[in-house]
Each structure stands twice: as C-alpha cells, then as structure tokens.
C-alpha cells in the first residue's frame, strides 16, 4: 500500500540520487550558520552546547507554580516556560464572572504585580531565561516581569526570554484573542519598539505554528500559515516606521515535533530556508540575524494518549529527537501524563530527563546537521517547502494573513486536515498504539495531579486586599493615560507600566484597552 507523509506527499519506498533532481549537495546545502540556514542557524549548533531545555509549567497559585519551577531548576532545566490560566490569557482577573471555575486550572493565576512577585520569588531573573505563553495581554505580563526584575535589582538590559505575543494564530486555531486584528498588530509593534529601547535581549514574539498543528494542521500547513503570520507582523512593524534590521533579530518561532520524525526534520529545514529568502528578498534585511529562523519546539501534545500513558514516554523521546535533528534552539518535552491532567512533579522530571539523555547519552550532538545530504530528508525538505510556498501564495492572493483569516481560509484548511486524520484513526488506517491497536482490557489506575478549587476564593481575597491597600486615585490616573495612548499613536507600554507599578490588575489594564479598541468577534464564514 502506498504511504504518504503527514502533508499528503507521496512517500517513496526507496530514495536515491534521482530524488535530489540532479543538484549538487555541496553547492545546494551550503554550510551551517550561513544563508539560507538550511543546515542550522549557528555554525557549531550543539557541538558547542546543547539547546535550551525549557520546561512548560504553571498551575494553581503563584506559590505552587514557584515550587514547581524550583524543582525544575534543581533537576537541571536552564529555561523556564510559564503557563497562565485561561482568565489571565483572556485579560480577566480571578474575580471576574467569566473566570469562575477556570482559576488556576490550565496554568497559574496572575492578577497583579503581587502574584508575579511570588511566582518568581527566589529565582534570579538576571540569570534565568523565561518564556511566557501569553498572547493578547502579552504586554501586561512582560511589564509585570520587568517590574519584578527591577525590584530584584536586575537591569532590564540583562533580561532574556520570550513572550509568545502571536495573536494572529489565536484567530486561526486557539481562540484566546481580545482585540480586533488591527489593534492587536498595533500593540505588537508597540512591544517591538518598547523592547528595542528597554529590554534589548528579549525575544518580542514567538510566531507559533504549534497550536495550528495541535488543531490539525499538516507540517506544510503549519509552516506556511506560521510564516505568513510572520510576514504580516514584519509588514506591520515596517509600516509603523521601524527598520527591519532593528527588530527582526528578536523574532522567534514556535513549532511542534510529531512522531513522524523524517518529515519533521525536513519541515524545520524547509522553514529556515523559506524565512531566510523572505527576509532577504522581500524585506531587504541585511543583518544575518534578521534572516535566521530561530525556533522553540514542543513535542506533540495532541499525539499523547490517556490509554497506556507510559507509552507517551516513547512518543516524546522520538518527537524530541526529531526536534534536535531538525536544529531547534530550545525544547519542551511533554510529560507522559498530560493527556490525563496537569503533569505531576515526577512526570515533569522524567520529561526533562528525556532531553538530558538526548543531549548527553546519544551522539546526535557530536556533529552539526546529522541528516545533511540524506536522499530522503533532502527530498522531503524540497517537497514540504514547495507545498508550504503554494499555501503561502494562496494567502498572499487573498491579501495577506489577516485578510485570509477574515475569510476563514487557514481555519478551514486546518479543520479539513483534522477531520481526515480523525477518519483515518477511526477506520484503523492510522495506527495509534493503545487506542485502535495493541489495546489492553483494563487500564492501570493512575492518580493525576488535581488543582484545589479553593484557590479561586484565595485569589479573590487577594484582589480585595490589593484594592483596599493601593492608592486608587493613582491607579485611575494611570489607567486614564493608558486609554489616551490607545486612542492616539503613542507607545501604550509606557503608561501601562506606570499603571501596573501602581498595582493596577491584569484585568483593569486589559479593560482600559478594551474600552478603546473593542473586542474581536469572528465572522461566520460557513
């Protein structure tokens, strides 16, 4: 039976020199660390040092999450990655009616600088790199982080990390948007400008294909729609008056790593090549750092199963290996129990140990780009690149990523792919070990981590105390300046910072912008 890749491309049983269409590997591939960066963005890659091992964590209260971060640091992680609860992601405080039942469930609840101070208590922010998975209220959470670092005596120039800050993919796949696209792009370009002046080592955006992949996007769709969003952000920043080489070196990307290892390696290589050409040819970027596609990878949560969850350890190891062979700059390996609940401390430690085994017990870090010249990988790289470019041309023909989003193009394409995969699993054509083949009659009992529902009341009480203690007049005055900046063209992050320093809450800061910019309501495209 003929096999196909995840992107629907034919998988040949044997690959040889003819698969490379006559091109000379030495001439075509170039060298690592040089344009178009097919072989990696740095000359030495992992032969000098391994990737950043960044574990995603956050649940319950700031104190509980801080305890988990301390455990991960003690276990050897060298990069934190913060998961926020749904109310925080939507810019609501824990006492908002819409927050009821969701406080602390899928991440940590952060309502104010008081919570952020506890979250990073005892963690030297000048020494650790922190990634925050936050989008619509990204500016607010970044400023809280900066203010806490300031209290620690850490200069902003020393801070390193990333905010996801990718709102366009929220309209496509994830749904935690607040403001309409034009206002969201305005806020993102304000973040670019602010960080250039105030937090120069910070990665201002992590343009994400991960969530599209989790929603069902194929590898070709994942990189096509992600890079199309990236082009939209660059255009918005250039239109605001910024020079491309002033902000592009701080752009970063975020992709998934599936169990289909060969195509995933090809996908990462193709994405680097496409982005390098776009930045050089369309935007005239001259700084090589502006042309580099640097990315974080997370293993595929959607491929984890609640059935026989220990098998997920094998899946994650293969997925992590694909990310490493593909040249990722940082990696999060999922915990084996994430299809059941939030990870336990033991499961999170095992996930980190998976990365450490890859880095220190295998030989994949001994040479740069181990698959270079492989007939199958080079052929797949070309094919995935061609498929992604075709999708990107369709997006361009519609007027760009925002126009295509408004027509529901990306969402529709991803949903069709997801439906096809679901049919294949249901029919048994696609094997999922433990689900539709190699099942067991009775699953072993597993005790998941449970979030205490009492934390919602605790957060509400903390908010009441904060509002009683703070200078309300100073907060009101600061929030008025936020609204004024949002109505004009001044950078909104400066008055936002003043408001948060005065102990305005995440919800109040977001509400100030909501009052001016409004809320996004998706069009009914079906």
- Residue 101 structure tokens: 């039942």
472-491 pLDDT, tens digit per residue, is: 999 999 999 999 999 999 99
What does pTM read for this prediction?
0.93
pLDDT bucket at 524, cuts 50 / 70 / 90: low
Strands 3-4 and 10-11, bridge-based pairing: antiparallel
Q: At what angle do helices 506-517 and 472-487 cross, to 10 degrees?
A: 30
pLDDT tens digits for range 199-224: 999 999 999 999 999 999 999 999 99
Burial (CB < 10 A; 0-12, 13-18, 19+), residue 190, is buried
Torsions phi, psi for 140 (to 5 deg)? -65, -45
What band does 342 get if pLDDT is binned at 50, 70 and 90? confident
**CB contact burial 52-75 (16+ within 10 A = b; e otherwise):** bbbbbbbbbbbebbbebbebbbeb
The pLDDT of residue 113 is 98
Cis peptide before 36 (omega within 30 of 0): yes
Q: How confident is the model over 159-169, as a mean pLDDT?
A: 96
The domain ranges of the chain are 3-427
Tokens linked to 421: 């995969």
pLDDT for res 473: 98
444 has a pLDDT exceeding 70: yes
The candidate with the shortest Cα–Cα distance to 396, out of 227, 279, 514, is 227
* Strand 79-83 to 52-57 pairing: parallel
Q: Give residue-wise pLDDT tens across range 43-101.
A: 999 999 999 998 888 899 999 999 999 999 999 887 889 999 999 999 999 999 999 99
Q: Which CATH class is domain 3-427?
A: alpha beta
**Locate tokens 């988990």: which residue?**
68
Calculate the CA 487 to chain-centre distance.
30
pLDDT tens for 242-273 read 999 999 999 999 999 999 999 999 999 999 99
Task: Give the containing element (helix H, strand E) for 334.
Answer: none
As beta bridge partners, residue 3 has 11
What pLDDT, on a 0 to 100 scale, did the predictor assign at position 525? Answer: 47
Position 452 confidence tier, pLDDT thresholds 50, 70, 90: confident
Q: Tens digit of pLDDT for each residue in 288-297?
A: 999 999 999 9
C-alpha dihedral over 112, 118, 119, 122, to 10 degrees? 150
Q: What are the DSSP E strand ranges found in 300-416?
A: 330-332
Whether residue 27 has pLDDT greater than 90: no
**Which helix (DSSP H) or strand (DSSP E) does residue 478 occupy?**
helix 472-487
């Amino acid at each position: 039976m003929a096999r196909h890749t995840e992107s629907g491309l034919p998988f040949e049983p044997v690959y040889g020199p003819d698969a490379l269409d006559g091109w000379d590997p030495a001439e075509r591939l170039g060298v690592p660390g040089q344009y178009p960066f097919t072989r990696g963005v740095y000359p030495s890659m992992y032969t000098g040092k391994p990737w950043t091992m960044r574990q995603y964590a956050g649940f319950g209260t700031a104190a509980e999450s801080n305890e988990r971060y301390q455990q991960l640091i003690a276990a050897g992680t060298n990069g934190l990655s913060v998961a926020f609860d749904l109310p925080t992601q939507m810019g609501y405080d824990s006492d908002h009616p819409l927050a009821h039942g969701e406080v602390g469930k899928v991440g940590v609840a952060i309502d104010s600088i008081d919570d952020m101070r506890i979250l990073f208590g005892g963690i030297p922010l000048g020494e650790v790199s922190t990634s925050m998975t936050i989008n619509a209220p990204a500016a607010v959470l970044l400023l809280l982080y900066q203010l806490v670092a300031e209290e620690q005596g850490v200069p902003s120039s020393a801070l390193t990390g990333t905010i996801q800050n990718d709102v366009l993919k929220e309209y496509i796949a994830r749904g935690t948007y607040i403001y309409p696209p034009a206002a969201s792009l305005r806020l993102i370009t304000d973040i670019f400008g602010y960080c250039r002046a105030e937090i120069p080592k910070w990665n201002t955006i992590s343009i994400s294909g991960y969530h599209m992949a989790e929603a069902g996007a194929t590898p070709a769709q994942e990189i096509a729609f992600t890079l199309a969003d990236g082009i939209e952000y660059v255009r918005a920043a250039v239109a605001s008056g910024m020079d491309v080489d002033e902000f592009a070196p701080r752009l970063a990307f975020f992709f998934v790593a599936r169990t289909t290892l060969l195509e995933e390696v090809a996908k990462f290589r193709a994405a680097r090549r496409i982005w390098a050409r776009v930045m050089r040819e369309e935007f005239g970027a001259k700084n090589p750092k502006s042309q580099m596609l640097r990315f974080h990878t997370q293993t595929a949560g959607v491929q984890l199963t609640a059935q026989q969850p220990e098998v997920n350890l094998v899946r994650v190891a293969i997925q992590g290996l694909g990310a490493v062979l593909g040249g990722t700059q940082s990696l999060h390996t999922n915990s084996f129990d994430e299809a059941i609940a939030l990870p336990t401390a033991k499961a999170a430690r095992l996930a980190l140990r998976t990365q450490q085994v890859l880095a220190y017990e295998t030989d994949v870090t001994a040479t740069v780009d181990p698959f270079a010249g492989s007939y199958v990988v080079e052929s797949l790289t070309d094919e995935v690149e061609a498929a992604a470019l075709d999708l990107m041309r369709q997006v361009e023909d519609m007027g760009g990523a925002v126009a295509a989003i408004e027509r529901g193009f990306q969402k529709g394409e991803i949903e069709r792919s997801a439906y096809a995969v679901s049919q294949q699993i249901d029919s048994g054509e696609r094997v999922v070990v433990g689900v539709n083949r190699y099942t067991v009659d009775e699953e072993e009992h597993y005790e998941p981590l449970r979030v205490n529902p009492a934390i919602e009341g605790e957060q509400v009480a903390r908010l009441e105390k904060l509002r009683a203690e703070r200078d309300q007049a100073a907060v009101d005055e600061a929030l008025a300046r936020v609204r004024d900046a949002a109505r004009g063209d001044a950078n909104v992050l400066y008055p936002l910072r003043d408001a948060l320093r005065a102990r305005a809450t995440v919800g109040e800061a977001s509400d100030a912008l909501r009052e001016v910019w409004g809320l996004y309501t998706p069009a009914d495209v079906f």
